[in-house]
Chain A
Amino acid sequence: MRLHETCTTDQAAPRFDHEWQRRAFGLAVALSEFGHYKWDDFQQSLIQTISRWENTPGSQRGDWQYYDHWVAALEKVIADHRLLTAPVAKDAGDHAMDERLQ
């Protein structure tokens, strides 16, 4: 196996190919920073998504696309924390008042 060519050429180059990747990144960080879930929860979700891809035979999985995994992990952590299904109480400063994190 050869290293990806960016291993030798990517001198701190721009990190996002597309705006949606940038927004997916920002969304995951924002939800954590404002206390809607702990960063570890997202991290675990991402690890699981990536490991499912890595444990799938090469012929049965798509190309490596990091931000597809990121989006899948984000969907799962949002669902796990019922962010779109449970009522949310907020204070005036945009911080979630989630009793699980208090």
Chain B
Amino acid sequence: MSGQFAYPPDREEASAAKVAALESLLIEKGVITGQTVDKVLAYFESEMTPLNGKKIVVKAWTDPDFAARVVDDTPAAIAELDLPEGMAGAEGEHLQAVANRPGVHNLVICSLCSCFPWPVLGLPPYWYKDPVFRARAPREPRQVLAEVGVDLPDDTEIKVWDSSGTHRWFVIPERPSGTEDFTAEELMDLVTTESMLGVALAGPAS
């Protein structure tokens, strides 16, 4: 992704040096150990990925009762699934699912910073943190969605959900038609991170 965020190299060096200094000072002080950050990162990168979200969406597509429960009480419904230990922690207790349905499309944003449902989607994509997206999405969601290729009928209501420390929204997209005979694995391939944020519809990755 080089070149998309060009800025003076010394600025980056300054930030990099600050991070390194903070980490070693915290280790020296005994606040963390030399392994702490690596352990946390390894956990995030191996366990907290969009695969969790895909499993939740496919379960909702194939089990109408679960589909209702996951919207009513998201953490409890997720706990029913065989997902990695710790899904309830690391902000997981604040997860809240919203379901698309005919006539209603949900869009997840964080207008203030970049609150994100890590446990089910991993780390946020670049665009989620982009100031233009964060500013425009709540003001003109239909236009923004059209620009990224989601053309919704005029009578489809767009609900915009602004994430916060206590509400980490994610979207259960609609199951594409013609997928009645798909296996769970084939269905999972249709669920993208973008579709679970409402900036795309579920479907084959383009």
Contact A6 B30 (CB under 8 A): no
CB < 8 Å neighbour of A33 from B16, B90, B115: B90
Judged by a CB distance under 8 angstroms, whether B26 is at the interface is yes
> Which residues of chain B come closer than 8 Å to A11, judged between CB atoms?
192-194, 205-206
Query: Interface size bucket, A side?
Result: 35 or more
Within 8 A of A (CB), among B113-152: 113-115, 122-127, 129-133, 135-136, 144, 147-149
Closest to B6 in A: A63
CB < 8 Å neighbour of A54 from B26, B32, B131: B131
Min CB–CB distance B89 → chain A (angstroms) = 8
Contact B15 A67 (CB under 8 A): yes
Q: What's the Cα separation between A65 and B130 when bound, in Å?
A: 9
Contact A88 B29 (CB under 8 A): yes
Min CB–CB distance A33 → chain B (angstroms) = 6
Contact B37 A62 (CB under 8 A): no
Judged by a CB distance under 8 angstroms, whether B38 is at the interface is yes
The digit string for B7-22, where 1 denotes a CB below 8 A from any CB of A, is 1000110011011101
Chain B contact residues, CB within 8 Å of chain A: 1-2, 4-7, 11-12, 15-16, 18-20, 22-23, 25-26, 29-33, 36-41, 44, 50, 89-91, 112-115, 122-127, 129-133, 135-136, 144, 147-149, 165-166, 192-194, 199, 205-206
